[in-house]
Chain A
């Protein structure tokens, strides 16, 4: 199963990466095993988002930058407004990074 390393940049992924870094640098974990853990995280996170999350979000704002490179869209949206679950959040600038979902199903 193909996975994205995209989610490693999320909070949970960063926390895992930091943990693995510490343990590898302390010598209690081999780098190979750490990479295996990260790959497993990619899978588990993708599955969890696919199966357990049902919420829907709408985003509006001013598109400051768009970029499509290596099948990854990157948007920088200014004055963005997020709506979900009757909650509205406003953000001065947000970066959206999105991989092609079709790559996973292939």
Chain B
């Protein structure tokens, strides 16, 4: 966010910089004005995304209307979905868990008055349920459709988690039983569902189909996934122990047994597995294929289109996948840390950049006079010509 004066100064600075480097871009075999325009467009786009420039830029009509214009639209599109799901997600999760008291006496047409049930100021959960459970009774069929669209966009997954729908492959009972208190768990559930969903499944399989060894892993993972979510929380060792027992039970097929055994060390660390396999079976290539696929997955964590649609979900998906594929954890941690750092820099880190005229101290009382500063506090950029600071040490 920025005050209007800050925004206008920023715009003028951008303009000034662009104008003064134009000569360098055009002459002396420079890359040309097109690259300069691209630079300006990208710069302004980032500024609007950071909220430091209040778009659209008026001067955009003068010359480089293309980039800033498109940029402003993009910015709005980006901002709305980011906040939208967050706002909707928590209330819906809360509202959807009490579907059991559906027989509340709130059969009145009250909810029809509010077209957006989620936005209603603290309505009773029962009311919400009724509002989209009685579309026929209500005078306006808009309510349910609105609601469903919201759910489709924002958190269809959590909705499904709340009330099992035909899309659910495994409407396991623990989903309903899980308390709505833990927001993080709710997030993970939603992501798991989305991952399960038909939309994302094909892309993942496309990735996996690259090698034959992956198919085995897919089968395994599908076995794990529907009920496998719980063991994953408890720790991967449980799963592998079960598998190992099964494999050893079927001794006549050493290949399967080894495959399952290999899976255990794979979780602990991929190195010992290939040796075991190499000693006993020629299946080593399959296993190595699995390992290398894991790294491939690490290199390409998510398809870009998916990231564009729902970045938060994709990130979590990556985390889940990497939890399964042990070798990737380090990278994921780094990514997470990087994200956190960026977030701090952009949002929560308060910073004042200035020049000092004088800094004095009397006992524990510090005084400083600053000038020509840029402050980034509370997610706002504020410029000042002079500032005085009085601090107690």
A residues neighboring B (CB under 8 Å): 4, 6-7, 9-12, 14-16, 18-20, 22-23, 28-30, 33, 36-37, 40-41, 43-50, 52-63, 66, 68, 73, 75, 77, 80, 82, 84, 89, 91-101, 104
Q: Is the CB of A62 within 8 A of B371?
A: no
Q: Which residues from A are CB-within-8-Å of B357?
A: 101
A53, B383: Cβ atoms closer than 8 Å? yes
Contact between A82 and B377, CB atoms less than 8 A apart: yes
| A58 to B13 CA separation, bound complex (whole angstroms) | 25
> Is A59's CB under 8 angstroms from B354's CB?
no
| B9 pairs with A53, CB closer than 8 A | yes
Q: Could you say which residues of chain A place their CB within 8 Å of the CB of B52?
A: 11-12, 15
Q: Check A53–B20 contact: CB distance below 8 A.
A: no
The answer for the CA separation of A98 and B359 in the assembled complex, in Å, is 10
* A80 CA / B380 CA spacing, docked (Å): 15
B residues less than 8 Å from A18 (CB atoms): 46
Contacts of B353 in A (CB 8 A): 6-7, 9-10, 97-98
Chain B, 29-49, CB within 8 A of any chain A CB: 30-31, 35, 38-39, 42-43, 46-47
Known: A28-B35, A75-B389, A93-B350. A99 touches B381 (CB 8 A): no
Q: When the two chains form the complex, which single residue of A11, A28, A36, A45 contacts B21, counting CB atoms closer than 8 Å? A: A36
Q: Is the CB of A57 within 8 A of B384?
A: yes
Q: Which of B307-323 contact A (CB under 8 A)?
A: none
B288 CB, nearest partner CB in chain A, Å: 33
In the assembly, what is the distance between CA of A63 and CA of B50, in Å? 29
Bound together, the chains give a CA A102 to CA B84 distance in angstroms of: 48
Contact B39 A23 (CB under 8 A): yes
Contact A75 B391 (CB under 8 A): yes
Q: Can you add 5 more A-B contacts, CB < 8 Å, to A11-B381, A12-B381, A37-B39?
A: A10-B374, A55-B5, A63-B392, A95-B352, A96-B370
- Chain B positions within 8 Å of A, measured between CB atoms, are 5, 9-10, 12-14, 16-17, 20-21, 24-25, 30-31, 35, 38-39, 42-43, 46-47, 50, 52, 345-346, 349-357, 359, 366, 368, 370-378, 380-393
Contact A73 B13 (CB under 8 A): no
Given contact pairs A10-B381, A84-B384, A30 touches B31 in the complex (Cβ within 8 A): yes
Q: In the complex, which residue of chain B has the Cβ closest to the Cβ of A44?
A: B16
How far in angstroms is the closest Cβ of chain B from A89? 5
Chain A residues whose CB sits within 8 angstroms of the CB of B390 once the complex forms: 58-60
Partner among B35, B345, B373 whose Cβ is within 8 Å of the Cβ of A23: B35
- A73 close to B356 (CB less than 8 A): yes
In chain B, what residue has the closest Cβ to A97? B353
Enumerate chain B residues within 8 angstroms of A63, measured Cβ to Cβ. 366, 391-393
A95 and B350 within 8 A (CB): yes
Contact B356 A19 (CB under 8 A): no
